[in-house]
Structure 1
């Protein structure tokens, strides 16, 4: 659903005559979604059609904000709602001094999406060789970031397919990163997605997620992703936080933060499913019982 929200925002810019391609090629501006906060109120099924509405949200600043709603074709109630912030980031990779911006775009153009203050000094290990494939969960930086918390950490080299505008990790890349770290966390706690599917026909469902950029993360940097269980609600949903970091000049720099809320649905047949409460095995895994 977040990808549909992203596409709706891109289409809004296209219809305004400012497609992401034109912004980049004619004005040297990268269109970046820098925060997204999405609630899924009703589930969509494969091949159902959603009608998206994108409305600008005007506040007394130079942020481009939008409210996005998606309604099933023929429906009357909102099925997805999202709050999105967009940055027009000046390209510095190719001849940045050659473009004169129109006044209405110059107001929203930024030299950098965000800049985080450097954090603790750390010494990373050389553990993201390509032979390690999906990265590693063993690294002194990860140990530092997860110490004393109910967290799982993952170190991963940012690949080209997750980036855009020649250099930066984009929002859709972070969304995939959030899905990936959840998958690895559940496997690390002994309740992998396939395990619960095979054992009891449970599948994760997500009613709410959000991600916000705090700094820029660059292609081929090592990204440290920390997934922390924050709260369990009445044994039906649990909320976790995702924080990502890079190491620059020997210091941690946080590049994003976000949260995701999960529940489980039991698959009753090929068409129907319903939410189920967590049992003790799943609760223990979320809470890190038995040393995990």
Structure 2
């Protein structure tokens, strides 16, 4: 009787102990995966503080030489100021325009009723599936005839409108109760006023998500500037670093320093907007 009575208690304790171990195993696996993902970036930062001879060593040296002069040399021996300025201008302007046009068009698709709205939206969103390489050449010919080639305006016109931004904002707008818009119309507010004074303040998480994604995409864009920007004074940081590597292919420490500088703004923007980014992705597409 005693053994039979203690078995269920023992089984429950064993099951509870196993259940308590799973979160520990899961967190340990996530920590290992995070370290594996961050290891190349950590090595890149450390390499930017080494001398050239110590960047590629066997085994890898995980201690830097604290060679801070690399961050001075990269600015004096390259056009980093010009590259960062052009990239920052394009990233800020294009991100602003994409958020503006995407949120405005998304309001028309989600809150207004007009013939052919759903068909046009599906056709517009369907352009996401078309790779840019499919219409890259005719687009370049068009921009050349408009005398926009080899100008920053070409990159702005190329990316000022995006179907993904319209889709993202529309999905978020549909989570906002329709009663708010109806009440605003009864009070005499125009559609533009509803968009500006009601929809935009409520959609800050989605705007933050779109801002972050667009900024990162424009900052890291390589093919677009490579095709349209031929003047060295118009080069972005990605094109500039490619030419810098070609000129100083043995200056490994400087190359790593330039890579750190190219990644640093993205890391800062992501850290600042991480909270809103996660919230926007989590709530987009949830109706209620």
TM-score interval for Structure 1 and Structure 2 normalised by the shorter chain? under 0.3
Q: Could you state the TM-score of these two structures normalised by the residue count of structure 1?
A: 0.24
Higher helix share: 2
Q: Which has the higher strand share?
A: 1
Decide which structure has the larger Cα Rg and report it: 2
In the superposition, the TM-score normalised over structure 2's length comes to 0.24
Greater RCO (CA < 8 Å, at least 6 residues apart): 2
